[in-house]
Amino acid sequence: MNYKITVIPGDGIGPEIVREAKKVMDKVGRVYGHSFGYTEVLMGGCSIDAYGIPLTEEALETARRSDAVLLGAVGGDVGNSRWYDVAPNLRPEAGLLAIRKGLGLFANIRPAYLYRELEGACPLKKEIIGDGFDMVIMRELTGGLYFGDRYTREVDGVMTAVDTLTYNEKEIRRIAVKGFEIARKRRRKVTSVDKANVLDSSRLWRRVVEEVAKEYPEVELTHMLVDNCAMQLVMNPGQFDVILTENMFGDILSDEASMITGSIGMLSSASMNESRFGLYEPSHGSAPDIAGKDMANPIATILSAAMLLRYSCDLDQEADAIEKAVREVLAEGYRTGDIMSRGCEQVGTSSMGDLIAGKIGST
């Protein structure tokens, strides 16, 4: 099969890590007989430099016409006045919000998994880690506070800022369905996270999630308040399978979950619409301080490419092969600087990509 992939290298380390993910995909293509046709577009700071805006309509249209999008990272140093001394809707990150909305990517899937090989990097105590953890955060991505009306103006002589948190039942239902669907293929547990003791939007969330749960009797549903969830993540992370939550809570909890894996450089993510279309990117940022130095960890992007194959191309076997290759390379003791520990061999971005690509089809 031939797949059309829109590639957005972006800013900072983006181009380097995307190059490695493409290297691995091309190897998969050769071994399994697929071809991936890439079209590169600009987004973020590089798009601002070229066109004055973080995402052009043409770039969005290219993405829309493809089977999937592979993204590196966008944004830079906030000290970079060229990108940041402008209105918020013209900054690099606005490109990310625009592509999420423009492509209808309402379902953000963020796995947080503790690699046994990297347990030393986990900041939690051994007794809390227990048998490890393996969870997925299913974050609603195109609603809530991020996309509600907002303004700042004087009200009765006092400067006042307003952000609106809105959810309708359709938006809640479709993300809940995605959450239950994914739970069904995992350990069949959904923890729906809200703030139903305070917010109306959360009370509606809870009601709709319960309705959807009736269609998935094999999946166990529990509700958890977001503050309690933040605590439970560092007290007993092993209890979670799928965490289902709204946009802002998911933003915060997914950073917390990634932190306890000890290795944000390992975490992939997918943002999907109703169909099989998705945008795949590492969970980490553009790390401008190490850009261009062959130091970045490409594994999160390589694992995002695996998710792309699995979810958008239905290539499970190929995705498994990439995940297995990553494990093998880690088990052999190769590490990039961010996950380096004693007794291991430190390698650069491009060597890590070579090592992983080298494993595909080798057994």
- The binding site for Mg ion (CB under 5 A) comprises 251
When asked if residue 93 is in the footprint of ligand IPM (CB under 6 A), the reply is yes
Helix (H, G, I), strand (E, B) or coil at 79: coil
**Smallest distance from ligand IPM to CB 361, Å:** 33
Amino acid (1-letter code) at residue 350: S
Nearer to Mg ion, 251 or 281 (CB): 251
When asked if residue 318 is in the footprint of ligand IPM (CB under 6 A), the reply is no
When asked if residue 253 is in the footprint of ligand IPM (CB under 6 A), the reply is no
Q: How far apart are CA 99 and CA 43, in angstroms?
A: 9
Say how far residue 79 (Cα) sits from the centre of its chain: 25
Extended strands (E) in the chain: 2-10, 35-40, 68-73, 107-113, 134-140, 150-155, 158-163, 189-194, 220-225, 242-245, 268-272, 278-282, 334-335, 345-346
Is 292 among the annotated ligand-binding positions?
yes
When asked if residue 251 is in the footprint of ligand IPM (CB under 6 A), the reply is yes
Closest CA to 315 of 8, 18, 82, 25: 25
**Smallest distance from Mg ion to CB 137, Å:** 11
Q: How far apart are CA 344 and CA 332, in angstroms?
A: 8
Concatenate the DSSP letters of all residues of 145-172 into one string: GGTS-EEEEEETTEEEEEE-----HHHH
**Smallest distance from ligand IPM to CB 192, Å:** 20
When asked if residue 246 is in the footprint of ligand IPM (CB under 6 A), the reply is no
When asked if residue 77 is in the footprint of ligand IPM (CB under 6 A), the reply is no
Is 296 among the annotated ligand-binding positions?
yes
**Smallest distance from Mg ion to CB 286, Å:** 13
Contact assessment for residue 42 and residue 105, using Cβ atoms and an 8 Å cutoff: no
Nearer to ligand IPM, 29 or 179 (CB): 179
Nearer to Mg ion, 201 or 258 (CB): 258
For CA atoms 219, 225, 230, 231, give the dihedral sign: negative
Nearer to ligand IPM, 171 or 251 (CB): 251
Is 297 among the annotated ligand-binding positions?
yes
Q: Could you give the residue numbers annotated as active site?
A: 146, 195, 227, 251, 255
Crossing angle for the helix pair 349-359 and 316-331, to the nearest 10 degrees:
120
By the criterion CB under 6 A, which residues form the site for ligand IPM? 93, 96, 251
Binding region for substrate: 100, 110, 139, 227
Binding site, residues?
100, 110, 139, 227, 251, 255, 285-297
Binding-site sequence positions for NAD(+): 285-297
